[in-house]
Each structure stands twice: as C-alpha cells, then as structure tokens.
Amino acid sequence: MSVTAMPTTHPSMRGTVPLGEAVEKFLDRYRDEPGTATTYAETLAHLLAVAGDTLPAGALTLEVFAATMARWNERAAATWNKHLAVLRSFTGFALRQEWLTADPARHLERRKVTRRGDKAIPAARLERLFTDDRNGLRERVLWRMLYESAARAEEVLTLDVADLDPQFRRAITRSKGGDLEYLHWATATARLLPRLLAGRTTGPVFLSDRRSPASGKRARALADIDPVTGRGRLSYPRAEYLFKQASVLHDPHGRGWTLHQLRHSALGHLAATGRTAPELQAKSRHKHLATLGHYVRLGEETSARITAEADPLNRRSR
C-alpha cells in the first residue's frame, strides 16, 4: 500500500504563509467537488475581504473571525452554522499544516436551529411563481430545473452545456460526495431550455448578466466563462438573492423562499402522491434512506387536505 506524504512547512515559515495562499491551497483539495468548492469559497472570500490576502495565516484571531461571521448575524441559524463550519474546516486544515497554533473559531458557538416541520412550498404557489413573466427566462429555467430534478442548487449551477442530454431530458453532474450522477427534468424545463441556450454549445448553462473580468481577484477560471459572450457562471449567492426577491411576492408570510426549498418541495410533493421511499431515493440520489426522511415529511398541503376530507360540514367533501 502506497502512502502519500502530507505537505510540510519549513519551521522558519510556519505561521507566515499568506492567508490568500492558505485559502487557495485549502480550496484546491475540493477541485473535483465543484459544489463544495463553491460553498466554501463564498465563506472564505469574505474572510479574505475582512483580513486581507497578505495577512499571515498564523495571525488569524477570534476578532477577525467574529468580524467575518458578522455578515451573517441577521441570517437564519442554519446559514450561520454553515459558514462557521467552513471556517472551522479551514482552520483544521491550517492547524494540520502548522500554520496555526490554535483555532480562532473555537470560541464561536453554533446557533440552535428551530426546525420547521414542513419546508415544502405548496405546488399552486410554485406554479404561480414559475409562470410569473416579471421574472427573466434564466431564472424561470433554473427554478423549473431545480424543482423538476429535485437537485441541489450547486449541482445545477455548475452544469455546462456539454453536460446536458436534451434527448433524454437529463444532465450529468458531480454530486455532493463527488460521484458523477444523472439528474432528470420534465416537460416544462425541456420546453424552456432551448430558448435559454439559444444555440450555445459550450460554457456554463446559467450565465451571469455581466462579462467576467479578464484579470484581478474577481477573474474567473476559464471553465466558468462562456467563450462567446465572456459572461461568467451565475453564482449561488446571486441566484439565491434573485429567488428570494422574486418569491417574496408569492409567499403569504412575505419572507421569500430559498433555492433549497425547491428540493424539499419536489420530494415532498412526490411523497404526497404515494411514491415509495426507494423511488424518492432514486430521485434525490441520497446515499442513505435515513437522510431522506426530513425532506419528505408530509406537511401543510397534506394536513389541509385531510382536514377538508374529514370535515362533515364541508360541502365539497360530500
């Protein structure tokens, strides 16, 4: 059995590695997992914005991490915990490389997550959102594809045109664990997708509104740029923001929804039609049935239907 030696740092250089270089080396470990890399990069980009690229990794402090996490102070507990987990993963890597002697994040606490029993969005409300002409074609295709495929947002946003197989209404994507898997969509997406691509055969499926900078910190990798228009790949934060803003108009609570709720909704609606657990697992591509459970907990729509059907004074039920 061969053993791969961990990269070591000369004792005189420990703690002096620039933070930008340390972040780059950390993210390079996830080059075969674009979804994970995108999520991690969002958090660490803000760390670099707060601390600077040239700060020695060994100079990271609790105050720097607290200032970084302040960006998500008003966000949901799950969002806070996600970004904190990224910082802890990075510092764990830095500790193993001996760039740090102590974890600056150790005093930052996870927040208690208050779980809602039902994260699924009623199908009628989703349909009104999907057909709302105030939203652009790109957004409507993205939302439809996420719902019909029950895929993770990162899996769809990292799709390239070459990954698509329109004839069989599917695309090959790299899943959360790094495996290559197929996701499938239905008729509504199949009808809109050619309009979005407009004959393009290369580049990302979902493009940003502007051309990507050719150089500097904001320059993208060539794989994330459309060679014809020069526009970059649509980012997760931007896609999430646009969905939140558009869905506020259809959410009776006025808060708006998240892209991940489209996955919850797709699986929840399929469960409500009586699909078996193995069928739902095939659709969601979860590795274990146990992790599928909280996605398919039947909620508001099922409760309303059962109540109406059991109401002896409900004329419709008679």
Q: Which of 270, 248, 243 is nearest to 259 (CA)?
A: 243
Domain count, the chain: 2
Q: What is the DSSP letter of 134?
A: T
**φ, ψ dihedrals at 170, nearest 5°:** -150, 170
Do 88 and 128 belong together in one domain? no
List the pLDDT tens digit at each of the 318 positions of the chain.
Answer: 444 444 444 444 445 789 999 999 999 888 777 778 888 898 999 999 999 989 999 999 999 999 999 999 888 788 889 999 999 999 999 999 999 888 888 888 888 876 555 578 999 999 999 999 999 999 999 999 999 999 999 999 999 999 999 999 999 998 877 788 999 999 999 999 999 999 899 999 999 988 877 666 666 778 888 888 899 999 999 999 999 999 999 999 888 999 999 999 999 899 888 888 888 888 988 887 777 776 666 666 667 777 777 777 765 544
pLDDT at residue 181, rounded to an integer: 92
Helix, strand, or coil here: 121? coil
pLDDT at residue 193, rounded to an integer: 96
C-alpha distance from residue 207 to each of 141, 143, 157, 165, 180 (Å): 12, 14, 9, 19, 22
pLDDT at residue 116, rounded to an integer: 54
pLDDT at residue 88, rounded to an integer: 92
pLDDT at residue 80, rounded to an integer: 86
Beta strand pairing status for 180-184 and 231-233?
Answer: unpaired
Whether residue 157 contacts residue 116, with contact meaning beta carbons closer than 8 Å, is answered with no
Let me know if residue 5 belongs to a domain: no
Do 259 and 171 belong together in one domain? yes
Do 202 and 270 belong together in one domain? yes
Domain that holds residue 297: 123-304
Do 150 and 264 belong together in one domain? yes
Type of residue numbered 53:
D
End-of-domain residue from the set 77, 96, 115: 96
Let me know if residue 103 belongs to a domain: no
Do 169 and 261 belong together in one domain? yes
Q: At 169, which CATH number?
A: 1.10.443.10
Do 287 and 244 belong together in one domain? yes
Whether residue 189 contacts residue 144, with contact meaning beta carbons closer than 8 Å, is answered with yes
Let me know if residue 310 belongs to a domain: no
pLDDT at residue 164, rounded to an integer: 97
pLDDT at residue 3, rounded to an integer: 45
pLDDT at residue 315, rounded to an integer: 58
Whether residue 38 contacts residue 176, with contact meaning beta carbons closer than 8 Å, is answered with no
End-of-domain residue from the set 78, 96, 114: 96
Whether residue 247 contacts residue 238, with contact meaning beta carbons closer than 8 Å, is answered with no
Distance CA 107, CA 206 (A): 39
Distance CA 253, CA 246 (A): 13
Whether residue 138 contacts residue 234, with contact meaning beta carbons closer than 8 Å, is answered with yes
pLDDT at residue 241, rounded to an integer: 94
Do 54 and 135 belong together in one domain? no
Q: Cβ neighbours of residue 20 under 8 Å, at least 6 residues apart?
A: 48, 53, 54
Let me know if residue 311 belongs to a domain: no
**φ, ψ dihedrals at 223, nearest 5°:** -65, -15
pLDDT at residue 30, rounded to an integer: 85
pLDDT at residue 276, rounded to an integer: 84
Let me know if residue 142 belongs to a domain: yes
Do 49 and 129 belong together in one domain? no
Do 50 and 133 belong together in one domain? no
Let me know if residue 317 belongs to a domain: no
Let me know if residue 44 belongs to a domain: yes
pLDDT at residue 93, rounded to an integer: 93
Do 142 and 271 belong together in one domain? yes
Do 299 and 184 belong together in one domain? yes
Let me know if residue 247 belongs to a domain: yes
Do 133 and 228 belong together in one domain? yes
